[in-house]
């Protein structure tokens, strides 16, 4: 079942022969983690790329004065890792943490690069992944620079309402770089405004 999801994901991105696909799939190992498991923390090197078969994860870092900033949220059907550290194999500055019980399929950095060598078409998978990661990051950056708290919330509601509906207020607030109190205030204001229409 998990493997079917992963097969579908890979098949949508890159054309592999049945043999190449079997090799790729054989390098992913299943793993199951309870809620709030930290898979990577600052100082550690990101050794795995995770396909999320079930559950939700976040990537976050902690500011000097202790505030958590969630940079990225990942639901099932997507890949996740501490990508900067996965690329450089230098210690991460970020945390990767499960937000729900997660069923993952993980490939090690070593096997990922073995696959890039053994199956040249796998480059296209990685290209797709990097392009997507770049676009997501740029959107988060521009949202941060150019939008105020209410605009950030409304953009998230428009682009990815699932995240707002499914995840705790505290996590959504840290993803939008605002306090939970500010998020609650914005929600209440928007609700009142829509009720008075």
* Residues within the interface to a second copy (CB under 8 A): 61, 63-64, 69, 71, 83-84, 87-88, 93, 120, 123-124, 126-127, 130-131, 133-135, 137-138, 140-142, 144-146, 177
Instruction: Select 32 or 41, whichever has its Cβ closest to a second copy.
Output: 41
**In the complex, least distance from residue 62 CB atom to a second copy, rounded to whole angstroms:** 9
Instruction: Select 3 or 88, whichever has its Cβ closest to a second copy.
Output: 88
Instruction: Select 131 or 181, whichever has its Cβ closest to a second copy.
Output: 131
**In the complex, least distance from residue 84 CB atom to a second copy, rounded to whole angstroms:** 5
d(CA 67, CA 59): 14
Which residues in 63-186 belong to E strands, given as ranges?
68-75, 79-80, 95-98, 102-108
**In the complex, least distance from residue 126 CB atom to a second copy, rounded to whole angstroms:** 6
Which residues in the chain belong to E strands, given as ranges?
29-33, 38-40, 48-54, 56-62, 68-75, 79-80, 95-98, 102-108
Instruction: Select 98 or 177, whichever has its Cβ closest to a second copy.
Output: 177
- The two structure tokens encoding residue 81: 């890792």
- The two structure tokens encoding residue 17: 């022969």
Q: How many residues does the chain have?
A: 197
**In the complex, least distance from residue 107 CB atom to a second copy, rounded to whole angstroms:** 16
Q: Classify 78 as helix, strand or coil.
A: coil
């Amino acid at each position: 079942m998990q493997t079917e999801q992963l097969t579908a994901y890979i098949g949508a991105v890159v054309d592999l022969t049945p043999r190449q696909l079997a090799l790729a799939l054989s390098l992913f190992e299943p793993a199951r983690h309870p809620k709030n498991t930290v898979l990577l923390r600052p100082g550690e090197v990101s050794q795995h790329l995770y396909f999320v078969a079930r559950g939700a994860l976040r990537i976050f870092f902690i500011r000097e004065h202790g505030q958590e900033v969630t940079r990225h949220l990942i639901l099932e059907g997507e890949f996740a890792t501490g990508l900067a550290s996965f690329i450089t194999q230098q210690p991460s500055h970020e945390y990767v943490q499960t937000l729900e019980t997660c069923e993952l399929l993980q490939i090690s950095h070593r096997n990922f690069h073995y696959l890039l060598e053994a199956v040249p078409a796998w480059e296209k998978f990685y290209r797709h992944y990097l392009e997507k990661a770049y676009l997501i990051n740029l959107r988060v950056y521009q949202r941060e620079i150019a939008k105020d708290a209410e605009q950030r919330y409304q953009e998230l509601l428009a682009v990815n309402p699932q995240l707002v509906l499914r995840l705790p207020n505290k996590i959504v607030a840290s993803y939008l770089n605002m306090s939970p109190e500010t998020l609650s205030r914005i929600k209440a204001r928007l609700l009142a405004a829509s009720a008075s229409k």
